[in-house]
C-alpha cells in the first residue's frame, strides 16, 4: 500500500469568531490565523501583498493585527499502487496514483459542500469558501514520492453579499445538533438544497429570486402541476403558519412573489424584485427546506428505502388536505 499525507487549507469568508465552535466533522477544524502566519498568504494577495477582492470583506482585526477564520485538515490515507507486471505499460499517472489522489479531493469537496449547505439552512449569512488549497504527498515502497498541489476555486461563490454569519452561544450548540441530525438526510433532498444554494450565490437579485422560487417548485409541486402560483402559495402558507391571519398574509405575499418571478423570467422585468423581497423569499425557502429535512428524516426512519418521490408525493397529499381544511374554515380563498 502507498500512503498520502494530505493537508487542506482555506479561508472561511464573511463570518466571525463565533463559528470556531462549529463542529465541521471529518477531521476538519476551524482556526483563527493571523495573515502573517498563513502559509498560503501569497495565494490570497496580489503582487504588492494586498488582499485580493475575494477576501477584503472577510478580514478581522484585533490588537495583534489582521486575522481570518481558516479551515484546516491534516490526515494520512492509503492508496493502492498499480500492480507492476511484465508486459504492462504504466504511465507516471498510474505510478503516482493520481486518479486516487484526485478522487480524494473530490470526496472532500463533496463533504464540505454538504456541511456548508446545511450551515446555510441553519441560519442566514454569507459563510463559505472561495478557494481551498490541497497539498498531497504520496509515498510508496520507500523510494517513490510525489507532491501534488491542487486548488479548488469556487468561482460561483457570492463575495458581494456582506452579511456576516454569526452565532450566539446557544446557536452554536443548536447548529452542531442540526448538522448531526441532518447530515445523512441531506442526500435525499440534495438537488432541492443545491437549487437554494445556487440562489444564494447569485449577485443579480432577480436571478437569485428565480432560483429560490424554482427550489420551492421542486420541493412542493408535482410534475405537471396546474395553477402553480395558487398551489404553491397555499402550500407554503399552511406549512409555515398556523395562525389564520399570518397564514393569509403569507399566502398573498407568495402570490405576489410568484408573479414577480414570472415577470422577471418570462418578460425580463425584474423591477419589482428588491433586495428586501429577495431576503424575505430566501428565508421562506430556508424554513421550507428545514421542514422537509425533518419530514424526510422521520419518513426514512419509518421506511429506510423510501425515495424522494415517494416522500414528496406523501407530503403533497398531506398539504392538500390541510389546504382544504383551511379553505373550509375560510382561512384561505377557494
Please report which confidence band the pLDDT of residue 155 belongs to, taking 50, 70 and 90 as the band edges.
Answer: confident
| Predicted local confidence at residue 263, as pLDDT | 83
The pLDDT of residue 7 is: 98
Cβ proximity of 28 and 116 under 8 Å: no
C-alpha R_g of the chain:
24
Q: Are 136 and 5 in contact (CB under 8 A)?
A: yes
Q: Which three cell numbers stand for residue 226?
A: 396546474
Q: Give the residue-averaged pLDDT of 171-182.
A: 98
Q: How many CB atoms lie within 10 A of CB 189?
A: 20
Average pLDDT rounded to a whole number, residues 55-60: 96
Residues 265-270, mean pLDDT to the nearest whole number: 68
Task: Tell me what the mean pLDDT of segment 261-286 comes to.
Answer: 85
DSSP 285-320: HHHHHHHHHHHHHHHHHH-TT--HHHHHHHHHHHHH
Q: Which one-letter DSSP state was computed for residue 30?
A: E
Percent of the chain with pLDDT over 70: 94
The residue-averaged pLDDT of 120-142 equals 92
Residue 106 has pLDDT above 90, yes or no: yes
> In this predicted structure, which of 95-109, 174-188, 214-228, 299-313 has the lowest mean pLDDT?
95-109
pLDDT tens digits, one per residue of 213-244: 999 999 999 999 999 999 999 999 999 999 99
Residue 14's CB is within 10 A of a number of other CB atoms, namely 19
pLDDT at 2: 87
Residues contacting 53, CB < 8 A, separation 6+: 159
Mean pLDDT along residues 187-209: 96
Start-to-end C-alpha separation, the chain: 68
- 283-308: per-residue pLDDT in tens? 999 999 999 999 999 999 999 999 99
Phi and psi at residue 279, to the nearest 5°: -70, -35
Q: Which one is predicted more confidently, 38 or 81?
A: 38
Q: How far apart are CA 247 and CA 121, in angstroms?
A: 22
Q: Residue 97: which pLDDT band, with cuts at 50, 70 and 90?
A: confident
Q: What is the pLDDT of residue 48?
A: 85
- Calculate mean pLDDT across residues 164-193: 98
As a whole number of angstroms, the distance between CA 232 and CA 241 comes to 14
Amino acid at each position: 500500500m502507498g500512503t498520502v499525507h494530505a493537508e487542506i487549507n482555506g479561508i472561511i469568508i464573511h463570518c466571525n469568531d463565533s463559528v470556531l465552535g462549529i463542529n465541521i466533522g471529518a477531521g476538519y477544524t476551524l482556526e483563527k490565523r493571523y495573515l502573517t502566519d498563513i502559509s498560503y498568504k501569497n495565494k490570497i494577495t496580489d503582487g504588492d501583498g494586498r488582499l485580493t477582492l475575494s477576501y477584503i470583506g472577510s478580514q478581522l482585526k484585533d490588537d495583534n493585527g489582521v486575522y481570518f477564520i481558516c479551515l484546516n485538515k491534516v490526515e494520512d490515507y492509503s492508496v493502492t499502487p498499480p500492480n507492476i507486471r511484465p508486459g504492462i505499460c504504466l504511465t507516471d499517472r498510474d505510478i503516482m496514483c493520481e486518479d486516487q489522489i484526485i478522487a480524494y479531493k473530490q470526496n472532500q469537496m463533496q463533504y464540505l459542500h454538504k456541511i456548508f449547505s446545511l450551515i446555510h439552512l441553519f441560519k442566514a449569512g454569507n459563510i463559505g469558501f472561495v478557494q481551498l488549497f490541497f497539498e498531497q504527498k504520496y509515498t510508496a515502497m520507500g523510494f517513490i514520492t510525489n507532491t501534488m498541489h491542487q486548488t479548488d476555486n469556487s468561482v460561483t461563490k457570492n463575495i458581494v453579499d456582506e452579511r456576516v454569519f454569526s452565532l450566539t452561544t446557544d446557536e452554536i450548540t443548536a447548529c452542531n445538533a442540526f448538522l448531526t441530525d441532518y447530515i445523512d438526510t441531506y442526500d435525499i433532498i440534495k438537488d432541492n438544497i443545491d437549487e437554494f444554494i445556487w440562489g444564494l450565490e447569485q449577485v443579480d437579485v432577480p436571478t437569485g429570486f428565480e432560483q429560490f422560487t424554482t427550489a420551492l417548485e421542486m420541493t412542493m409541486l408535482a410534475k405537471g402541476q396546474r395553477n402553480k402560483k395558487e398551489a404553491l402559495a397555499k402550500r407554503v402558507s399552511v406549512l409555515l403558519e398556523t395562525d389564520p391571519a399570518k397564514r393569509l398574509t403569507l399566502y398573498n405575499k407568495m402570490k405576489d412573489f410568484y408573479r414577480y418571478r414570472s415577470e422577471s423570467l418570462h418578460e425580463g422585468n425584474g423591477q419589482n424584485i428588491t433586495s428586501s423581497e429577495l431576503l424575505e423569499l430566501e428565508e421562506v425557502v430556508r424554513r421550507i427546506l428545514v421542514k422537509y429535512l425533518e419530514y424526510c428524516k422521520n419518513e426514512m426512519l419509518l421506511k429506510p428505502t423510501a425515495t424522494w418521490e415517494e416522500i414528496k408525493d406523501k407530503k403533497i397529499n398531506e398539504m392538500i388536505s390541510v389546504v382544504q381544511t383551511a379553505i373550509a374554515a375560510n382561512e384561505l380563498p377557494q
